Amino acid sequence: MLADLAGVVFNGLFSAMVVFIFASGLTLLFGVLRILNFSQGGFFAVGAYLAFSLTRLLGPALPLWRFLAIAVVAGVVVGALGIVTERLVLRRLRQVDGAYSLIATYALLLLVEGIVKLIWGVDVRSMEPPAELSGVWQVGDVFMPTYALFILAAGLALFVALEWLLHHSRLGKLMQSVATDPWMASVLGVDVARMQTWIVVGGFFLAGIAGGLLVPNQALSPSLAGTFVIQAFGALIVGGMGSVRGTFMAAILLCVADSLASTYLPGVPGVFFYITMAALLLLRPQGLMRGAQL
Amino acid sequence: MLEVGPLDAFYGDSHVVQSASLHVAAGEGVALLGRNGAGKTTLLKSIMNAGPTVRGPVRCDGAELGAMPADRRARLGFALVPEDRRIYPHLTVQENLAMGRHGARPGVPPRSTDEVVEMFPLLKQLQARRGFELSGGQQQMLAIARAVVARPRLLLLDEPTEGLAPVIVEQLVAQIQAIQAGETLALLVAEQSIWFARACTSRLYLLDSGRVVFGGTWAAFDADPGLKRYLAL
């Protein structure tokens, strides 16, 4: 029973890190630029497909370092797409009402999904994790896939890195200043437009690298991002709209609750994510970290 | 150093500043007086190109700035201290001062925190405080201190004495005079407090309903009692 519980919590934490890795770029974009980027899921899929194709291209063996390098390449390519997207779309959304940017980024999602279909087709594909991550660890009676452990570590590392970047580095202080008062930042001599472009690049890089890291053990299809997007938006909202710390905690709370409920109430799988979300929003309508910076 | 106009500035459809012209020489102090809503703030923001839609020339050392954005004007040597101070609440005093370095002109190293704190001793004890923990007077000091970090050539002050205790206002005058004694810093101050404006400047412009209705020395202003009507509530 106890081992069961540990396994269930482990599964919850794994889902939480998947959601957090996906939602990190979303959080950055919303936290700094106040853009709710629906198309994040499409660019995540681009990253995943790129990683899939690169892996195929480079031959059957997939050592861990190559898997990581491919994820970074996917991140860089999607980051570069971020520059284009910022110039063509996001920059024009700065002065308009949030509803318009939702519609525009949703349209962008459809466009990107269409392009993915044109390039990679509609067949469902799949890819194995690298050999080093294919095993299973056993601690007591709990079985933990190495790949899940890796994602857990990657999510935690990403969280620590973003927290440090945003709260302890000079760049982070600058990003927070641009987020809280872009007008004053520009009056003080900060090139706010360039800063905003780089933040978009960062958010898109995170989407691409998430695609590369999360592609193994997924059914790779053009609408891959669908489920992630909803859960990631849930974590973003419960976390307090744009706080990395909040998104991280919300992802854990929601996914662990969902994992527990799905195990002990197997009649209604997948519903408890949303029930927990509704409950947390009733308790804290402002989100977990409202008022905190990023 | 600064030549403006004739300049028109708009917020949407409202024509806030109407063919205003003014100039400020290098190192000179000039006051901009007028009632609330006369267009002083809009005029200062227009010079910085930070907000209003601007039509008409703003020249720096004879060069038309055109559509140059605010951040580049800052790096040209313009510094604006807005009426609402806009201290970053989540940053410490030190970090707020560090933000001022972004406006440094090429080849001109900005002032160090120590140097600035020396100029504004009130800030010395407050360096680790966050913006939201400061009183109004402390915020105003910090806003001006942050503006001079980059060694600007033109300081645009919007209502710096608003809400300040008289003793703080006196300190502010002394600090501004000390900076001007040290280096060539031109000053354009929008004010309601005639006393403060007079202490920091040698000339003034009167603004009424978006138009410049008088420009001249304080002596000329005093000689024409009729001008006071532009300031009366």
With b meaning 16 or more CB within 10 Å and e meaning fewer, what string describes A187-204? bbbbbbeebbbbbbbbbb
Q: How many CB atoms lie within 10 A of CB A157?
A: 10
pLDDT for the residue numbered A35 = 87
* Cβ distance of A183 and B146 shorter than 8 Å: no
Instruction: Tell me how close the Cα of B232 comes to any Cα of chain A, in angstroms.
Output: 32
Q: Is A171's Cβ below 8 Å from some Cβ in B?
A: no
Residue A1: the pLDDT is 61
Give me the amino acid identity at A184. Answer: M
ipTM score assigned to the predicted complex: 0.93
Per-residue pLDDT for A293 more than 80? no
pLDDT of the residue at B117 = 92
Residue of A nearest to B86 (CA): A184
- Report which of A237, A280, A225 is spatially closest to residue A258, judged by C-alpha positions: A280
CB contacts of A190 in chain B (<8 Å) are 71, 99, 102
Domain total of chain B: 1
Q: Please give the pLDDT value at position A15.
A: 92
Range of the domain at A176: 2-236
Give me the tens of pLDDT residue by residue for chain B, a chain 233 residues long: 999 979 999 998 899 999 999 999 999 999 999 988 899 999 999 999 999 999 999 999 999 999 999 999 999 999 999 999 999 998 999 999 999 999 999 999 999 999 999 988 889 999 999 999 999 889 999 999 999 999 999 999 999 988 888 888 888 888 888 888 888 899 999 998 888 899 889 999 999 999 999 999 999 999 988 888 888 75
Residue A292: its pLDDT value, please?
A: 53
Residue A187 lies in a domain: yes
**pLDDT tens for each residue of A101-160:** 889 999 999 999 999 999 999 888 888 889 888 888 888 888 889 999 999 999 999 999
pLDDT at A290: 64
The answer to whether residue A250 is domain-embedded is no
Q: Is residue A279 part of a domain?
A: no
Cβ–Cβ under 8 Å, residues B139 and B126: no
Pairing of β B14-24 and β A136-139:
unpaired
Q: Answer yes or no: are the C-beta atoms of B105 and B77 closer than 8 Å.
A: yes
d(CA A85, CA A72): 19
**Residue B86 to residue A184, Cβ atoms within 8 A:** yes
User: Rounded CA gap, A261 and A12, in Å?
Assistant: 10
d(CA A139, CA A286): 39
Minimal Cα distance from B97: which residue of A? Answer: A188
* Closest Cα in chain A to B81: A187
Kindly list the distances between the CA atom of residue A231 and the CA atoms of A91, A255, A269, in Å, as whole numbers in the listed order: 26, 9, 14
Select the residue of A176, A180, A186 nearest B70 (Cβ to Cβ): A186
Chain A contact probe: residue of B47, B71, B146 with most A CBs at under 10 A: B71
Q: Cα–Cα distance between B14 and B21 in angstroms, integer?
A: 19
Task: Express each pLDDT in A197-252 by its tens digit.
Answer: 999 999 999 999 999 999 987 788 887 777 788 889 999 999 888 889 999 999 99
CB contacts of B69 in chain A (<8 Å) are 186, 193
Residue A158 included in any domain: yes
For chain B, the residue count is 233
Q: What is the pLDDT of residues B114-147, one digit of tens each?
A: 999 998 888 999 999 999 999 988 999 999 999 9
Q: Do B88 and A184 touch (CB under 8 A)?
A: yes
Tokens 């030549």 -> residue = B3
End-to-end CA gap in chain B: 33
Distance CA B212, CA B55 (A): 16
- The count of structural domains within chain A is 1
Nearest CA in chain B to A192: B71
Residue A124 domain flag: yes
**Residue numbers of the domain that contains B122:** 2-230
Q: Where residue A269 falls among pLDDT bands split at 50, 70, 90?
A: confident
CA–CA gap between residue B149 and residue B151 (Å, rounded): 6
Task: Mark yes or no for CB contact A189/B71 under 8 Å.
Answer: yes
d(C-alpha B48, C-alpha B78), whole Å: 7
CATH number (domain holding residue B106): 3.40.50.300
pTM of the model: 0.86
Q: Do B150 and A187 touch (CB under 8 A)?
A: no
Give A183→chain B minimum CA distance, Å.
7
Contact B35, B231 (CB under 8 A): yes
Question: What pLDDT, on a 0 to 100 scale, did the predictor assign at position A164?
Answer: 94
Q: Which of B70, B91, B98 sits opposite A187 (nearest CB)?
A: B70
**Nearest-angstrom CA–CA distance, A254 and A236:** 11
Whether A160 maps to a domain, the answer reads yes
- B7 neighbors B56 (Cβ within 8 angstroms): yes
Q: CA-based diameter of chain B, in Å?
A: 50
Asked whether the predicted pLDDT for residue A40 surpasses 60, the reply is yes
In total, chain A counts a number of residues equal to 294
